A = this chain, B = another copy of it.
C-alpha cells in the first residue's frame, strides 16, 4: 500500500525516500541529499562535514517506478556529477552508480539507498544469532574542519578558532581539550599547501566532550587496541574504529611467567618478595607496548593513529597492568582494590599510542571473576538470550557464568592448573609436540594419539616423519582429559578413578605399568616415555570436581537441573573435545550440539567495548546485576565437590552422551 505522500512546501518541491529506513520528505530543488537525510534523521556518516573529501556519505540511486512510494525515481532527478564528485572518483574511486550525498542535489523525486557502509551506526556482528544486535558506536568520532585564519583583526587563539569551527560545522559545544592536543594544534593547523598553513585539520572528539587528538588536513582513519592479558599469553587486536574491522593482531607469552606459571604462584612470589609488584607491572606493560607496535607495523599503521584501548584480564592481571599491587587477591577474603571499570590515559600505562589515547579496563565481578569474564559476558551475552547458558572459562580457576535474560550468576572455582597441563607428570602447555587427542582400543587397550603440529594419528603411516621436527613432548590439558575419559571408557579406570592394572586388563596389554601398589598407563613408549599416572588421574578428578561443583552450585542457586547451552571459553575451550569433558563429568549434561567453544571470548569482549559506548554502559550495569556466589564459604560446595570426585556413570546423569560414546557397564 502506498504511504501517504508528504506535503510539498512548494509545487516543484522534490520528494526523496531513503531506503532501507523508509524515511521520506519533500525538499526544495537543489537541496543536497545529505542535508535532506539529516533533516529526516537518516543515519549517514560524514567525517569531512559535506565537503566531498571523505566519501563516507556515499549513496546509490534506485531508478524506476515505485508504486509503494507513489513516485518515479530517475537518474535525471539528481544534479549531474560535478567537479567535487569527479575529483573524488578520480582520486579515491566511487563505485558505479554511487553518488556523494553531500554533492548530489535533488532536482526531482528519487528513491535513495543508503548502504550499510555509509551508516554511522553499523551493526556489529555478535557471534550468537539469538542475541540482540549491537551497533558500532565508538567513543571517538573524527571531525574535519576548516578553521578561520588568525589576523591582526582576529588574534583569537588557535583553540578558540578550532572550537568555533567545531561548533559551526558539527554543533559541538563546550568541548574540553586535552593538553597534548595543544602541543600539536599549532603545527597541524599551519601545515599544508600554502605558507602559514591551510588551517584545515581533523580532530578526534571523545564522547562528544573532549578533543583528544588533532591531525593536519583531512584524516580518515583511527584505530583502537583491544588487549587481552592472560596469565599465560597476551594478545592485542587493532581495530578500525569506524568499521570494526580487525586490521592487525599480535600475541606473545606473558613475560610474567618467569615469576610463576600461574596466578597463585605469582601472588606467592609477591608475598615472598615485597615491593616486586612494579617489576611484574613493567614486564606486562612492556609486552603490551611491544605487541601494539608489532601489530601496528604489520598493518602499516602509525601508532599515533591508535586513539583508544580496552583491556580485559583476570583480577591479578588487571591489577598488575594498572600498577596495583595485587597481593591481597592471594589471601582471604580475596577483595579486589577496585572492581569498577577504570579509564585512564594510555600514556599513564607507558603505552605510546596517540598522546591523547585513553585506556578502558572492563569492570570486574568479584575476587577471582575478573574483567576477562566481563568480556566473556559481553561477547557471549548469556543475558541476551532466553536459553539458560553456562559459560566456563577454564584456567587455574574456572570462572563460571550461568544465566539468561532474567538472571546472571557467577562464581570462581579453584580447579588448580591440571587443565592447563601443570601438576600432570608429563603435562605441558598446549604447544607443538603436546598430545592433544587420545584414543584407546577397547580390546587391546593400546593407545593412539595426535600431537599439536600434525594432523596424523600416531598409528597413521608417515606419522614419525610428520613429527620429525616436533617430537612428542608431553600432554596438554585437552590431551589429559581425553586420556582419562578414554581410559574410563575402555575400562582401565573405574568410576572411583583407580587404574585397574590387574585381572583381565593385565592380560590384554603391556601398557599398564605397576608403580608400588598402583598402576600407570603407558601412553607413549618414548623417548620421552609418557605415562598417565594414578596421581595424574587424581589431579584431573580434583580439577573436574571443582569445576563441576562450581557449576552445580550455580545451578542450585538458580534452581535448575539442566542448562540449555554450554560455552567453553579460551584456549582450553578451543582444543577440548566437549564430549570427553562430559564423559569425565567436568560439565553437566547438555545436548552435545549445544556445547561448544566460545573462542577467545574475553578478547572479543574487549573488541566490543572498543567499538561501542553502549556496550560499556551495558557491561558496567550488568556486572552490578551479576549475583556473585562464593564457593569457598557455600556450605553445600564441599558436598558437591566430594560427590563430583567420581567419574560418573554417565548413562544416568548424562543422557546426552547416549549415542556419542559407549559407556562402560
Contact = CB atoms under 8 A, between A and B. Distances in A.
Contacts of A653: none
Interface stretch (A44-52, A61-69, A150-158, A472-480): A150-158
A190 interface: yes
Copies in the complex: 2
A339 interface: yes
Contacts of A633: 152-153
A344 B348 CA distance: 13
B337 A182 contact: yes
A366 interface: yes
Contacts of A177: 338, 340
Contacts of A151: 333
Interface stretch (A109-117, A324-332, A419-427): A324-332
B182 A333 contact: no
Contact of A156 (B158, B325, B335, B344): B335
Given A333-B152, A633-B153, A338 B190 contact: no
Given A179-B342, A182-B342, A366 B333 contact: no
A603 interface: no
Interface in A144-180: 150-160, 177, 179
Given A179-B344, A179-B348, A344-B179, A630 B158 contact: no
Contacts of A179: 322-323, 342, 344, 348
Contacts of A150: 333, 335
A290 interface: no
Contact of A157 (B157, B158, B190, B338): B338
A328 to B, nearest CB: 6
A324 B367 contact: no
A157 B333 contact: no
Given A335-B150, A338-B177, A367 B182 contact: no
A658 interface: no
Nearest to A342: B179
A182 B338 contact: yes
Interface in A55-103: none
Contact of A152 (B160, B186, B630): B630
A183 interface: yes
A283 interface: no
A191 interface: no
A506 interface: no
A623 to B, nearest CB: 11
Nearest to A281: B183
Interface string A620-650: 0000000010101100000000000000000
Contacts of A153: 633
A198 to B, nearest CB: 15
Given A342-B179, A348-B179, A337 B152 contact: no
A185 interface: yes
B157 A325 contact: no
A187 interface: yes
A158 B159 CA distance: 40
B322 A186 contact: no
A337 B186 contact: yes
A297 interface: no
Contact of A186 (B328, B334, B339, B340): B328
Given A152-B332, A183-B324, 17 more contacts: A152-B333, A153-B633, A155-B333, A155-B335, A155-B366, A155-B630, A156-B335, A157-B335, A158-B336, A160-B338, A179-B342, A179-B344, A179-B348, A183-B322, A183-B325, A186-B324, A186-B328
6 contacts: A156-B335, A158-B335, A159-B340, A160-B339, A160-B340, A185-B337
Interface of A: 150-160, 177, 179, 182-183, 185-187, 190, 322-325, 328, 332-340, 342, 344, 348, 364, 366-367, 628, 630, 632-633
